Structure 1
Amino acid sequence: MFAPRPVVDDGYYVVVAETAEGDWMNAWIVGGRELSWDKPARVASQYPNARWRKLMMNLCQKEHKAWRKPLMEYLFSRIAGARALRLYYVGERTRPDGGEEPLIVQDLGYYSPRELEPSLAPTGYATLASGREVLNLALQDAH
């Protein structure tokens, strides 16, 4: 299982629903609505079954990019009152000496069912770029 080379890449997803008020909440299938940037104690337990786990293991790879929008549409449909959805992958890489490199955050997508008028956009988190500031603060607090 680990020979000849152990796995060095690991990661987890943060799926964020954004409300009309600009608040963020967890939009993933498993867990409550409180948003957390922390790595789950057991990443595999975040998936309802093996099919979901397989899909999500591959979703961060470029060749599987086509699956992101349908997934975001589905997750968005499950959240009442959401105006947009954001999908992040938080990657970890283990060095040969066993230490961990800094976390790498990938913006995998943004979904909204319609174009918003600028006057309707929440002031705090209207774009992925502004959301990155919140993400960076959350990661700094976690480490």
Structure 2
Amino acid sequence: MFAPYPMTEDGWYVIPGILKNGTEVDLFRQGKKVIWQKPDLVSKTYGNDRWRKYMLNIWLRDNADYRLYYGQYLCRKWNRDHFGGQQLDRFKIYYMLEETLPNYQPPKVEKVVLWEHYCFEYPPELDSNAS
């Protein structure tokens, strides 16, 4: 975490979702407009330490299986309270990977797609079982 080998990567999540009516919402920000810029305080975006730890686990390749479960949770949570065209159809989970560079250089940010999720059914072009 600190010297002599400080962490060189940081990041934040953006989870744009598409509702059945075509509206785009940010699921990580309670349905607000999607914003790709780094939040002023990333730690505040998690709600509490348990969610922070869970989301950090989702980022790790060894825990990739959690992404499906989190995706299912997001669909259930949103669609339990929204109906018709306001229901969540699909979304992507992006991790905005920020690399800390030496000598006070501006950080590089890379948009990494961690997961793509369909709440109801896969489009035919993605469904391997479609005939």
2:47 corresponds to:
48
- Note the 1:1-143 alignment, pairs <5 A: 2-28=2-28, 30-79=29-78, 80=82, 81-112=87-118, 113-116=120-123
- The separation in 2 between residues aligned to 1:75 and 1:59, in whole angstroms, is 14
Shift of 1:58: 2.5
Count residues with an aligned counterpart.
117
Query: Scaled by the length of structure 1, what TM-score is found?
Result: 0.73
Structural RMSD (CA): 1.9
Residue segments in structure 2 that go unaligned for 5+ positions in a row: 126-131
Query: Scaled by the length of structure 2, what TM-score is found?
Result: 0.79
Label 1:91 to 1:51 Cα distance change in 2 as closer, same or farther (>3 A): same
Moved over 6 A (4+): none
CA contact (8 A) 1:92 1:100 kept: no
User: Identity, % of aligned pairs?
Assistant: 27
CA contact (8 A) 2:100 2:108 kept: no
Residue segments in structure 1 that go unaligned for 5+ positions in a row: 119-143
- The separation in 2 between residues aligned to 1:41 and 1:5, in whole angstroms, is 25
- The separation in 2 between residues aligned to 1:111 and 1:70, in whole angstroms, is 10
SS in 2 for 1:89: strand
SS in 1 for 2:72: helix
